[in-house]
Chain A
Amino acid sequence: MAPALRGLIVVLALAGCERLPDREPLTGGDPKHGRSLIREFGCGSCHRISGVPGANASVAPPLEKLKSRVYLAGRFANTPQNLVAWIHDPRAMDSQTAMPAVGVDEQQARDIAAYLYTR
């Protein structure tokens, strides 16, 4: 019973019962599209990201409550521009970082950033 119930909740969550806005005001991106891009690009193989099934690795910091964070990657002010730029090409901003550029283009990065800011 309990597992079934939990399964039901997960299914409901997956089915999009968690309501995401069509547009996220800070980035101007589409959070729903962002969420599927996050799955596609496998960000979850390094990060824990709530609302994205399977994204619970802990190689890198969890991307929870990102909107309220002061810095990105410990070095850059947390602005929508910096977040988009970071997702697009982290190594361009910090050649030392262990986060690779995974081939996200600017528009995709904007959508991903939009999703992360709804967390």
Chain B
Amino acid sequence: MRVLRCIAAVALLLAAAGAVFVYSGVYDVSATDQHLFPTYWTIRATMERSVAVRARRVEVPPLDDVRVRRGVGLYREHCLRCHGAPGVAPEPFALGMTPVPENLAYVAKTWSAAEVYWTVRNGLKMTAMPAWQYRLGDDAMWDVVAFVKQLPSLSPEEYEAMRELGPPERERQPGAGDARRGRQAIQQYACVTCHAIPGVVGSQAPVGPSLARIATRGFIAGVLPNSAENMELWLIAPQDVKPGTAMPDLDMSPHDAKDIAAYLATLN
């Protein structure tokens, strides 16, 4: 009994200390205040272990020259600004990030292709590293990985020579709507910065209408009869459907639109 009371007291004390820590505002969240070394180490090790464990399940396809060549353009389009490339510095805004994006020529030496792929696909929480699975198809992500794995062997000159190869087309995948994936995609397109959406956590700012019971709505945005196809149309190109609307074109792939529409159809 006494032991229990003791544990409870300690737990209470810790909770109180935690509350004081949070509410007092002593912790400096500014990106210029560097982490203490133990903090840095803990975060970094947690991240690396998390990636390593999850990457075990990834199956790596052959990373041939074709992939590498397709990967250059994608890398230049999507990664260069934050991570730089041989002989090319990241853009100024990227240098102001905490954690700062690593030089991938070094990362590629120590990380397996599966780990790089997992990171590209899923992004890293609490860092500026985006998840790419809703922006690039699976093939395109492997193309980027193939290129990243080549980075350590590329001199700045060789990289210059490769960059002539233009960016390939965005991957588009057909498929039936998958509501579960749609819900994840909603998070990835940051819809909750403008909409309240049941089942999706976020700021739920009232920039656009609440999407509660959107499936029962007669019209989409007041102009388009509400059907599955029309919802996909709206998500892909709101500005074409209703020129001047405050809902922006989000550069959404038809595949994601189908999945998101499937999720919205469950909100009734």
Contact = CB atoms under 8 A, between A and B. Distances in A.
A65 B168 CA distance: 45
Given A60-B217, A62-B210, A98-B218, A71 B223 contact: no
B18 interface: no
Contact of B206 (A70, A73, A74, A75): A70
A74 B218 CA distance: 16
Given A58-B216, A59-B217, A61-B217, A71 B207 contact: yes
B219 interface: yes
B244 A75 contact: yes
Contacts of A65: 206
Interface string A38-72: 00000000100000000000111110110011110
A98 B222 contact: yes
Interface in B217-250: 217-219, 221-223, 242, 244-247
Contact of A59 (B210, B212, B218, B245): B218
B217 A96 contact: no
B223 A98 contact: yes
A62 B219 CA distance: 12
A70 B245 CA distance: 12
Given A58-B213, A60-B222, A98-B219, A68 B246 contact: no
A62 to B, nearest CB: 6
A96 B222 CA distance: 8
A48 to B, nearest CB: 8
Chain A contact surface mostly: loop
Contacts of A74: 208-209, 221-222, 242, 245-247
A64 B212 CA distance: 11
B190 to A, nearest CB: 15
Nearest to B224: A98
Central interface residue in B218, B222, B223, by most chain A CB within 10 Å: B222
Interface residues of A, number: 20
Contacts of A68: 206
B202 to A, nearest CB: 16
Nearest to B215: A58
A99 interface: yes
A57 B247 CA distance: 24
B70 to A, nearest CB: 39
Interface in B193-212: 205-210, 212
B245 A75 contact: yes
Contact of A69 (B206, B218, B223): B206
Given A59-B218, A74-B208, A75-B245, A96 B223 contact: yes
Nearest to A46: B218
B268 to A, nearest CB: 9
Nearest to A74: B245
14 contacts: A58-B213, A58-B218, A59-B217, A60-B222, A61-B210, A61-B222, A69-B207, A70-B207, A71-B246, A73-B222, A74-B208, A75-B246, A97-B223, A99-B222
Interface of B: 205-210, 212-213, 216-219, 221-223, 242, 244-247
Interface of A: 46, 58-62, 64-65, 68-71, 73-75, 94, 96-99
